[in-house]
Amino acid sequence: MLLTKVTLLKSCYSKFILLLAIITSLILYLPVLGTSLSLGRLALILSPLFAGVLFLIGFLVVDKNSIHIKGKICAETAAIIASLGLLIGFLSLGLSFLSLFYFDSPQIDFLIRIIRIVVPLFLFLAFAGLGLFAASYSQRNQMSNSSDKGTLIQLLLDGRIVWQWSILLLACLVVLAAFLPIRRNYSPSFDSSIFSYIGQQILKGRTPYLEAWDHKPALIFYVNALGLWLANGQLIGIWMLELIALFAGSVILFTVLKKTFSVGLSLLVVVISVLHFIRLFDFGNYTEELSLLFQLTAFGLAFSRWAEKRLKSVWFLSGILCGLAFTSKQNTIGIWLSLILLEFLIVISNRNDSKETFHRFLLEMLIFGSGFLLVNLAWVLLFYRAGALQEYWDTAFVYNFVYSQKSSESRLATWGTTLTFLPGISLFLLLAFLNWFASMTDLVIRYREGHPWREVIRMNQLQLLALIWLPVELAMAGISGMNYQHYFILCIPPACILAAFLAQSLKEIFGIGMRSTRAMAAVSLLLITSSLPLSPLFRESYQTRNPSAMTKTADFLIENTNENDPIQLWGGSVAPYVMTNRSSPSRYFNVRPLYLISGYLQEEQWKQFLSDLMVSPPEYIIYMHDRFINPVPKIANGFCLAGNVTDYQRATFDFLCENYRFQESINEGMNDEWSVFVKVP
């Protein structure tokens, strides 16, 4: 009788999901009946059928592992799938409910319009997901002797990894929601504006360095182009890629830590570490965020079962990841320097077969190097075919070297800030840094107590990696001589590991006089309390933004120009380009490089800039009066009276004097008052 009910349940669920998937696809097809289908619309129409197949596969796994229980792992697999169905169900219902509202915000309402189109799919996912969980619960309840409540609790516990990952996702959302580009009066940061602008130009068929100049390596530009393409030109697409990268990185970090520490401690430390990014992301979309994912993926590979089997492919994949990070920003390779040094220490600590071990190490380094070179070769071929190889080399590498040399004078002066910035954010990070000194002291004491240095090295490779990794990342952050806060993003993972070791030690100490659960509660309270200084940072980040010169300039350009009209922003902000999808006629859409390194290529740069302006004169020039550019009076012939004009700038300002007149001020009376110069008819 019991098996008959279960079989009937299985049959009903299968037929219901298939029928519902077909109906949902038809509903999504009806609005475009008789019209040509875009690739995106076709994917949307077919998605219920694809999702239905996945749900059926999930149900078959649940059915097999719930009725014919073959062990704990099988039961947990079924519970994970059921819990995932429950989560998808509730999220889909929430999004469907959200579509009922109007928010009086163009960007939010743009998303809501998309959600309304996709509502049938969300409703299907909700019914399928909740049905999957209900079916799994029903099967378990029929096959077990537990109460209804006991079965439900056990099912949720067996699927706890879903809820653990959900907590990590929530932490990532709490951080990144502060920089959500659909917030009112949002404007991207300086770096983000540059990357997303070049991403826009790539989608318009233009080539970085040749037609849009910035000195960062190329990967960040193409990632931004991908985000914009996925969201039909909206910045929310880049934000979604940031969310995916941060979530994936946090999952990897959590997965590695729970191999050494308890699940609860690992989850707590990773969540707190993620929340510290609120101080470092500063509107987001930085190269360090991209490299963070590559670094943590390499970290996960290094402590995976494949690495334990000494598979050579691990080093090849790690080399590819290093190449990707290097072509995001050259000094974001700290984890690979640390891993190579750790591997070298392990090799020299091996007394047995030392020659064979060293040869294997050299082979691994060659394999690693081949992966690294493969990525760089791909970029060389890309820019060679685009006719921009020389520009790529001169800008992303030679220019950066000169720029780094220029800033070397301030390196020693900024080292104090480099070492104290992170500990100054919260007691949590201060404790992590103090644990670095404590752990190093412990290693020295062990060695002095008679432990051979080879044994000391092999005691805990995770701890040893963190001890190497943190100072390497601090050195990489301070190498430029400038301590922008996003430079320290990559210091958080090693600090997180050190904090976990400290928490574990405190738990053991507290456990001497109290039960394990109370000791864990005491440690958790300490870690949470030590992170309370983050509270004002979150309040500040979530404050309502007022209109700024950037948002007002964007409004002005939307009202007075078309997307195809060239415009030139002249100063320290390029955000209005991105906010309005407008383009500069010059590769120097950002004029800062024209002023940045005195004497290096400036004459050639200004000649190119003038040539670009003459070929395609901008309709408007928005002059920002920043301290590093020439002072220009806010009068009709302001460009004619520009100050501090050098010989190689003279021809450009003569051209501007003849062809542009002051029209009005934007954000008048404020510190960021900008001038609008219009082209003379």
Q: What single string gives the DSSP state of each residue in 360-389?
A: HHHHHHHHHHHHHHHHHHHHHHHHHHTT-H
The number of helix segments (H) and strand segments (E) in the chain equals: 29, 4
Between residues 17 and 526, the one the model is more confident about: 526
Per-residue confidence (pLDDT) for residue 681, from 0 to 100 = 82
The span from the CA of 91 to the CA of 162, in Å, is: 13
Per-residue confidence (pLDDT) for residue 259, from 0 to 100 = 92
Q: Which segments of 258-397 does DSSP mark as H helices, in order?
A: 263-275, 287-302, 305-308, 312-326, 334-348, 354-385, 389-393
Q: What is the pLDDT of residues 110-125, one digit of tens each?
A: 667 777 777 787 777 7
The top-scoring range by mean pLDDT among 68-72, 153-157, 185-189 is 185-189
Residue by residue, what is the 3-state secondary structure of 115-128? Answer: HHHHHHHHHHHHHH
The span from the CA of 613 to the CA of 568, in Å, is: 9
Q: What single string gives the DSSP state of each residue in 19-37?
A: HHHHHHHHHHHGGGTTSPP
Per-residue confidence (pLDDT) for residue 73, from 0 to 100 = 45
Q: What is the pLDDT of residues 33-84, one digit of tens each?
A: 777 766 767 877 888 888 778 777 777 766 665 444 344 445 566 666 666 6
The sign of the CA dihedral 517, 519, 523, 526 is positive
Per-residue confidence (pLDDT) for residue 69, from 0 to 100 = 38
Measure Cα distances from 592 to 194, 281, 626, 676 in Å.
11, 22, 10, 18
Measure Cα distances from 513 to 505, 509, 522, 548, 658 in Å.
14, 8, 12, 57, 83
Triad 162, 167, 169: Cα angle to 5°? 90
The two three-digit tokens of residue 208, written as one number: 């970085």
Q: What is the pLDDT of residues 245-256, one digit of tens each?
A: 999 999 999 999
Nearest to 320 by CA among 371, 381, 369: 371
Instruction: Note the pTM of the prediction, 2 decimals.
Output: 0.87
Per-residue confidence (pLDDT) for residue 21, from 0 to 100 = 83
Nearest to 578 by CA among 239, 282, 241, 289: 239
Answer for the pair 350, 357: CB distance below 8 angstroms, yes or no.
Answer: yes
The top-scoring range by mean pLDDT among 60-69, 162-171, 181-190, 381-390 is 381-390
Between residues 145 and 554, the one the model is more confident about: 554
Q: What is the pLDDT of residues 591-631, one digit of tens each?
A: 988 887 666 678 888 999 999 999 999 999 999 888 888 88
The two three-digit tokens of residue 207, written as one number: 């080539």
Between residues 349 and 556, the one the model is more confident about: 556
The span from the CA of 207 to the CA of 222, in Å, is: 10
What's the chain's average pLDDT?
84
The span from the CA of 618 to the CA of 585, in Å, is: 7
Backbone angles phi, psi at 208, to 5 degrees: -55, 150
The span from the CA of 278 to the CA of 276, in Å, is: 5
Q: What is the pLDDT of residues 287-336, one digit of tens each?
A: 999 999 999 999 999 998 877 676 778 899 999 999 999 999 999 999 99
Nearest to 478 by CA among 404, 558, 588: 404
* Minimum mean pLDDT range among 102-111, 190-199, 366-375: 102-111
Mean pLDDT to the nearest integer, 537-552: 88
Per-residue confidence (pLDDT) for residue 598, from 0 to 100 = 65
Q: Report the SS3 class of residue 665.
A: strand
Per-residue confidence (pLDDT) for residue 71, from 0 to 100 = 41
Instruction: Assign 149 a pLDDT band (cuts: 50, 70, 90).
Output: low
| pLDDT higher than threshold 80 for residue 555 | yes
Q: What is the pLDDT of residues 77-110, one digit of tens each?
A: 666 666 666 677 677 777 666 666 655 556 666 6
Percent of the chain with pLDDT over 90: 46
Percent of the chain with pLDDT over 70: 82
Per-residue confidence (pLDDT) for residue 544, from 0 to 100 = 81
Q: What is the pLDDT of residues 439-451, one digit of tens each?
A: 888 888 776 766 6
| pLDDT higher than threshold 60 for residue 409 | no
Q: Which segments of 489-574 does DSSP mark as H helices, in order?
A: 492-510, 516-530, 534-541, 549-560
Amino acid code (one letter) for 23:
I
Instruction: Assign 452 a pLDDT band (cuts: 50, 70, 90).
Output: low
